[in-house]
Structure 1
Amino acid sequence: MNLNQLSQPFSLSNGQVIKNRLFKSAMSEQLGDKQHNPTFGLATLYKRWAKGGIGLSVTGNVMVDRQALGEPKNVVLDEHSNLALFSQWAEAGKQNGAQIWMQLNHPGKQIPKFLCEEPVAPSAIALGRGLEKGFNTPRALTETGIYEIISQFATSAKLAKQAGFTGVQIHGAHGYLVSQFLSSRHNQRNDQWGGSLENRLRFVVEVYRAIRKEVGDDFPVGIKLNSADFMQGGFTEEESMQVVQTLSDKGIDLIEISGGTYESPSMMGAKNNSEPLKASTIKREAYFMDYMVKVRKLVSTPLVVTGGFRTGPAMNEALNTSATDFIGIARTMAVDPEFPNKLIGNPDHGMPLTVPTTGKPGLDKMAMVGLVWYEHQMWRIAAGKKADPKLSALGVVAKTILSAGWLAFKKRRA
């Protein structure tokens, strides 16, 4: 057994080879221009990550509908996009033998009020836990509207392939539209798109089918799924496993596991705002490894687990269990783009992350410091600068207010 499994290549069923087991999970870069095309900074950022040794990068969420943005500076890929700018981004992300997949997303009702007066969703149900103050109640999609969005996903995937991206990932986690369809909490339709799990997963199956029809069998199509929503009446772990099995049977190439929604942000490290992580989770570092062990018994489709990994030994231990085929990393890459090279060169390497703070818990929460601080690190790299692990959290908040006002701290993607 190789002591450093992270350095081993992996071949997908379509023959595409990913040079190592390190997978950059999506982070929202907020680097789209006024027309929602990628800025040159995105090419700079992904070239730096490619040079840093990552095997596969997944972009931040690219929206399939320019009328449905999750954040003001989202990138959109549709028939009105400047494909040459996307090609520059793709080419940069393929440096040093890396792969770059585009994450495709529709936010559904998770659109801040200041961006959309009437978002759409499976059902006309508002977000809860106080989020209804920042997000408008959605309009329930008609069946025609559902098929239009499915077509938009397919079009964006076709264009991503044309632009030179080496794969696409459907964003089916974190409470966005695909996740909303899967959840009985948010999907209370009584037609073929709601009710039973078979009906609720129809939307994601049709999105996958439409994409596959456009890109062919040799182009990788993956998905990011919740292990659960961790909400009463929401998407359960058992349902998640059934969705994984269904998509695996239909030929999806790679499944990344995360968890939670805006209402219960488990992707940030715990099942809810008050429940601590289990000791076994802390020891293994990964937030969702317990789920991965179970799901590996059900499918042979390549799996990625994302969330919490900081050290080489924990990553190699996870790979050695065969419960996952790739290790998803994100924030460590924003602080040190060379993190993959260091892990491959030294299997004992690690990089614990401190929690950025202004020293004032109330301000940290209101300003979303745990998110915005990492965005500023990505913006530094995109501008050709080095990341700054000692970057002042208070300074980040001040700069954001000066540039965009308090509007910048409206509820955003995690």
Structure 2
Amino acid sequence: MSPAPSVATPFTLPNGQRLANRIAKAAMTEGLASKDGLPCAAHEALYRRWSHGGCGLLLTGNVQIDRQHLERPGNVIVDGPLSPDAKAAWARWAAAATENGTQAWVQISHAGRQTQKQVNPHPKAPSAVALALPGGQFGTPVPLTERETLDLIDRFAHTATVAREAGFGGVQIHAAHGYLLSQFLSPLANVRTDAWGGSLENRARFLLETVKAVRAAVGNDFTVAVKLNSADFQKGGFAFDDCLTVTGWLADLGVDCLELSGGTYEQPAMMDMDGLTPREEPKQSSTRAREAYFVQLAKALLAAKSPPLMVTGGFRTLAAMEDAVASGISLIGVGRPLCAEPACVADLLAGATEELPRFEENLRIGPGWLGPKSPIKLIRTLNGFAAQAWYYQQLRRVAADGAAVKLNPWKAFQAEQRENKARV
């Protein structure tokens, strides 16, 4: 009998693609592209560092299929045919990301109603249901027509071919975190009465047709993965029972890997913003039990029918990762530690440490009531955005010279606002 797998054990996907180990760099938005939306020298430097940093797989930040619907300024964009120079830029990015035998996949997305007003004050979405968030950063969306919806499916497929031709080994279709495909799945965001709304089968149609179109465009030897919410963690939203059903449909379509996540901008379980844990998982006293937010939900999927599962969210200790792999989870996603220490996974696998770095103490705007646990919601929210900005700024520093710096999160937030304005 073969020994039980560990995080250091190679993993082979259903399509035959081999990963050197079970740890993946999760998708994290880079915000490094200029106004033209092309990958640049900073992308190459950052992904070259990560390709030598120990992970068996790198997932890129979300590449947008429509420049009018960015997740944030600085996204890489594929919006029509690529020029020869653009193709060369993509090829350089892929070459850097796949050095050292590392596999790399491109995450493909459309922000839908989660497009900021500074990018598009009237974004397209399944329905005219605005985000229930204070601050006025997001406009009321305009419902997509069927023709526009079909065009977007073609755009996902086209972007997948761009990734393949550039030299990446796969793509991940982003259907989580409240972006467009996730919006179609949600009965709160999708109130359509046509073939794209209503029943779960209709709400999942956009995702399933996108998977089919992408597979037809890239073939069976190229990885097609999906990132899916386990739940939106909102009453009346996309629920875990829905996730179980959709996961079975994705398995039937031959999806090579499913990453499980959860939450939206309205309920950001995936960000652990203002100290929240996912609503369907009780708080635990054990640090290890708190680490992997979505592991228990993943185990329920494994008991049904599912593609190989990747779980991301809170993993820091080797022990928790080993527990997850022993339970049948195929891949462990790691994100934030890699923003400031790009080689930390290599240290973990080499036995130099048993725990990835934590930066929580660096992320407080101020002490006490000014911190992330403040009783004032606005201050908690500002701490959340400042923490995000701290990580974004560290990505820029690592891309520039490979080293993170000591940085005040409020100053990081202000710097990030300036960077975004320069890219609009």
TM-score (ref. length: structure 1): 0.92
In structure 1, the residue matched to 2:156 is 153
CA distance in 2, matches of 1:215, 1:280: 46
Q: CA deviation at 1:40?
A: 0.8
Inter-CA distance 57–281: structure 2 relative to 1 (3 Å threshold): farther
Q: 1:90-122: per-residue Cα shift (whole Å, max 9, x none)?
A: 000001110110000011111111111221111
- The answer on whether the counterparts of 1:3 and 1:347 sit within 8 Å (CA) in structure 2 is no
Check whether the contact 1:259–1:266 (CA below 8 A) recurs between aligned residues. yes
In the alignment, what sits opposite 2:375?
none
Give 1:346's aligned residue: 351
Query: Aligned to 2:260, what secondary structure does the other structure show?
Result: strand
Q: Which residue of 1 aligns with 2:55?
A: 54
1:249 to 242, 249, 252: 252
> 1 CA distance for matches of 2:146 and 2:275?
34
Distance 1:123 1:271, change over 3 A: farther
Q: Which among 326, 330, 334 is matched to residue 329 of structure 1?
A: 334
Specify the code of the residue in structure 2 equivalent to 1:366. Answer: L
Q: Partners in 1 of 2:177 and 2:141 — Cα distance?
A: 17
Q: Please, which of 284, 294, 297 is the counterpart of residue 303 of structure 2?
A: 297
Cα gap change, 1:107 to 1:287, in 2 (>3 Å): same
In 2, the alpha carbon distance for the partners of 1:145 and 1:79 equals 15
Structure 1 residue 281: deviation in Å? 7.2
Q: Distance in 2 between matches of 1:354 and 1:33?
A: 28
Deviations 1:356-393 (A, max 9, x none): 112144667337111010111110111123123x4332
What is the alpha-carbon distance in structure 1 between the residues aligned to residue 342 and residue 382 of structure 2?
28
Query: 2:105 aligns to what?
Result: 101
- Secondary structure (helix, strand or coil) at the match of 2:69 reads coil
* Inter-partner Cα distance in structure 1 for 2:222 and 2:285: 37
- Worse overlay, 298-307 or 139-148: 298-307
Distance 1:337 1:330 in 2: 10
Secondary structure of the corresponding residue to residue 114 of structure 2: coil
State the partner residue of 2:214.
211
Residues 54-113 of structure 1 deviation map (CA, whole Å, 9 limit, x = unaligned): 100000000011222121111102434411101101000001110110000011111111
The within-5 A match list for 1:101-180 is 101-130=105-134, 133-180=136-183
Q: Matches of residues 9-408 of structure 1 in structure 2 within 5 Å? A: 9-81=10-82, 82-130=86-134, 133-269=136-272, 273=276, 278-279=283-284, 282-284=287-289, 285-322=291-328, 324-346=329-351, 349-355=354-360, 356-359=363-366, 360-361=370-371, 365-366=381-382, 368-388=385-405, 390-400=406-416, 403-404=418-419
CA distance in 2, matches of 1:261, 1:157: 24
- Assess if the C-alpha contact under 8 Å between 1:313 and 1:348 holds in 2: no
Amino acid at match of 1:253: D
SS at match of 1:328: strand
Mapped to 2, the partners of 1:10 and 1:153 lie a distance apart of 27
> CA separation in 1, counterparts of 2:223 and 2:97?
16
How many correspondences in the alignment?
Answer: 404
Give the aligned partner of residue 374 of structure 2: none
Contact in 1 for aligned 2:117/2:138 (Cα 8 Å): yes
Structure 1 residue identity aligned to 2:134? G
Point out where structure 1 has 5 or more consecutive residues left out of the alignment.
Answer: none
Task: Assess, with a 3 A threshold, how the Cα gap between structure 1 residues 282 and 44 changes in structure 2: closer, same or farther.
Answer: same
Unaligned runs of 5+ in 2: 372-377
Q: 1:83 to 1:357 in 2, by over 3 A?
A: same
Deviating beyond 6 angstroms after TM superposition, the runs of 4 or more aligned structure 1 residues are: none
Measured after TM superposition, the shift of residue 342 of structure 1 is 1.3
SS at match of 1:170: strand
Q: Deviations over 1:139-179 (max 9, x none)?
A: 11111010010011011001110111110000000000000
How many angstroms apart in 1 are the aligned matches of 2:221 and 2:4? 32
- Asked if 2 retains the 8 angstrom alpha-carbon contact of 1:121 and 1:177, the reply is yes
Any idea what the Cα deviations from partners look like across 1:324-351, whole Å, max 9, x if unmatched? 1110000011121112211211186102
Alpha-carbon distance in 2 for matches of 1:45, 1:404: 18
Q: Report sequence identity in percent.
A: 41
Instruction: Report deviation, 1:394.
Output: 4.0
Greater CA deviation, 292-301 or 373-382?
A: 292-301
Any idea what SS the aligned residue of 1:268 has? coil
Residues 183 and 347 (structure 1), Cα distance of their counterparts in 2 relative to 1, 3 Å cut: farther
Question: Letter of the aligned partner of 2:116 in structure 1?
Answer: P
Tell me if structure 1 keeps the 8 A contact 2:227–2:259: yes
1:35-64 CA-to-partner distances (Å, cap 9, x unmatched) read 010111001001100111110000000001
Distance 1:259 1:281 in 2: 21
Separation in structure 1 between the aligned mates of residue 169 and residue 259 of structure 2, nearest angstrom: 17
Q: CA deviation at 1:272?
A: 8.5
CA contact (8 A) 1:260 1:271 kept: no
Q: TM (normalized to structure 2)?
A: 0.90
